[in-house]
Structure 1
C-alpha cells in the first residue's frame, strides 16, 4: 500500500471562506467514490494555530505506485489541482506502508 499525504497552505490573504477555497475543498471531497483507485480517503482543515502549520490536509491510500499514478492523472483529480493552484501551495509525501 502507498500512503499519499498532501498538506496545503493558503496563499497570503486567502481565507477558508473564500468561494474558490470552498469549491476546491468540495472538488477534492467528491473524489472519494469517483476514482476507483482510492482505497482510503480523509481530508480536513488543520486545527493547530502554530505558525509552521499548514491549513488543509489530504491523507489517502492506494494499492501500489501504479494506482497512485492513475489517481494523479485522473481528470477529476487534475480538475481539483487546477482549482487549488489559484489560491494555495502544497507539499506531498508518498510512502509504502
Structure 2
C-alpha cells in the first residue's frame, strides 16, 4: 500500500521525474512584495520554491508565514525551511 500524494512535488518525485526547485529569500520586513514577485516569475519553471529561514543569520519574517503567504497568493508550492542553528528545542516545536 503506497502513501497518498499530498503535493505536486511529491507526485513528480514518486513518478521518477527530475524536479526543479527555486529559492526565495523573504525580506527583512513583513512586506513580501518582492518575494511574491519572485515567486510569480518562477511559476511555470519550478515544481516548488524553498523559502529560506533566517538567511545569513539575520532575523527575517518567519519562513512558515512567508511560505503560507507565497503559496496562497501565487499558487506556487512552497517548501518550508527551518534551521536549528539559533534555536533551542522549545523554539523548534
TM tier relative to shorter chain: under 0.3
More strand by share: 1
Larger relative contact order (C-alpha < 8 A, sep ≥ 6)?
1
Q: Which has the larger radius of gyration?
A: 2
TM-score normalised by length of structure 1: 0.26
Q: Give TM-score, length-normalised by structure 2.
A: 0.27
